[in-house]
Amino acid sequence: MVEEYVEYAGRSEPRERWLRALPLIVAALIGVPFLILAIRFSLSVAQTAKYIFDLGTSTWEATGLVLLSLSGGFCLIAYLVCLFIGSRRRTWRWRIGWAAATVLVAACLPAWWLVAGFLSPAG
């Protein structure tokens, strides 16, 4: 009896899978500090929002405060969605594109807060 090696469709070597996942792994590691900043800022806004609500605010100000306090969660969800979609793509071009999108999604809120004056560069 002769044994034959059969390669299954869609099956790849473990080393090749790690190599294909490398852009997403690097993007995830680069994005973590930005996510931490975004979530910390959102928590600080949420903590101060209670006192601002007690002072009395308009509907638009209250809406803005709620959105600011939820923006870290939105950033985290978008970060995870980009990583998930990127992990499902097969070509390098798509994986690198979704890895770049992951870093941009994680960094957009801290960068916007820095430009808008909510955060200082020194911390």
Maximum Cα interatomic distance, the chain, rounded to a whole number of Å? 85
What pLDDT does 97 receive? 92
pLDDT (tens digit per residue) in 56-96: 888 888 888 888 889 899 999 999 999 999 988 888 888 99
> What is the structure's pLDDT at 12?
59
Output the pLDDT for position 51.
86
Residue-level pLDDT at 15: 74
Q: What is the DSSP string of 12-63?
A: --HHHHHHHHHHHHHHHHHHHHHHHHHHHHHHHHHHHHHHHHHH---HHHHH
pLDDT score recorded for residue 53: 82
Per DSSP, the three-state class of 12 is: coil
- 122 pLDDT more than 70: no
